[in-house]
Amino acid sequence: MFALNDEVIVGIPARRGSTRLANKMLADLCGAPVIVRTWQRVREAGFERVFVATDDEEIASVVRAAGGQALMTGEAANGTARIAQAFAESRTKIVLNVQGDEPLVAIETLHEVAGTLLDKTRPAVAIATAAAPLDPAEAERPERVKVVTALDGQALYFSRSAIPWGGPYRVHVGVYAFHRTALRLVASLDPSPIDEGERLEQLRWMAHRVGIRVVDVAAPAPSVDTQADLDRVRAIFASQHPSAVGMG
């Protein structure tokens, strides 16, 4: 087992704005805000150095009230830029970036993505993420980002469209592991037409020839992108944590 707390620091970027679900980071999830539930989930995975990076005082306040640590940042173009700001002085080798709207993220996914960079028996990798099989009925949903990879797991393209034509489809899971030098590099890159068109920051890195290794994981838990997603996540969370129902 790799050294979770010696070699890995975790950042959870969070902002107030959201195009599909207003204030989703502060939405109630069985007695606590979504962002707090995500922080708790990462802690359950055994990571000790877990920080929420935000420019919003209310988000920082609810995290701290729950016993977590929040780092205030300035404005940031995306979550990766926010994490790069927050950890600009960190000397920790690996930065794990977990999206704040993933309160049910699988613990195994966090370990697998971080482990891809730490496992010295594998070829060296600077950035890793994850993907899982996607039901074809979900493939047309733009919030379900699809990914196509080479045979060795190297990402070829990410898209909000249903790719590859006819499937099989794999959905991107919103977890990244960066070597600290790669994080600083990608946060400094200029936009490209493809990332601006798709609104996917990882395409900017690929346009600048920065590789991304994609690891296969089991079917992902739903993230909170829409009200329907939030309702579904509430139902799943309540079934897994019956004592939390009615709290708050």
- Would you put residue 245 in left (φ > 0), alpha (ψ -120 to 50) or beta? beta
Look at 14-23, 170-179, 187-196 and tell me which has the smallest mean pLDDT: 14-23
Of 151, 152, 172, give the one whose Cα is nearest residue 160: 172
pLDDT single digits (tens) 89-119:
999 999 999 999 999 999 999 999 999 998 8
pLDDT digits (tens, 9 = 90+) for 120-147: 767 678 999 999 999 999 999 998 999 9
Using CA of residue 147, residue 121, residue 88, residue 66, what is the dihedral sign? positive
- Taking the C-alpha atoms of residue 127 and residue 176, their distance in angstroms, rounded to an integer, is 7
* Mean pLDDT score, 143-172: 96
Contact 96, 49 (CB under 8 A): no
**Is 129 buried (19+), middle (13-18) or exposed (0-12) by CB count in 10 A?**
buried
Express as a percent the part of the chain with pLDDT over 90.
Answer: 79
pLDDT of res. 126: 93
Q: Are 61 and 140 in contact (CB under 8 A)?
A: no
pLDDT at 3: 56
What structural domains does the chain harbor? 4-244 (3.90.550.10)
Buried b or exposed e, range 70-104, using 16+ CB within 10 angstroms:
bbebeebebbbbbbbbbbeebeebbbbbbbbbbbb
Looking at residues 208-231, what average pLDDT do you find?
90
- For residue 15, give the nearest of 26, 6, 5 by alpha carbon: 26
Q: What is the pTM of this model?
A: 0.91
Residue 248 confidence (pLDDT): 44
The pLDDT tens digits of the residues spanning 50-104 come to 999 999 999 999 999 999 999 999 988 888 999 999 999 999 999 999 999 999 9
Largest CA distance in the chain: 49
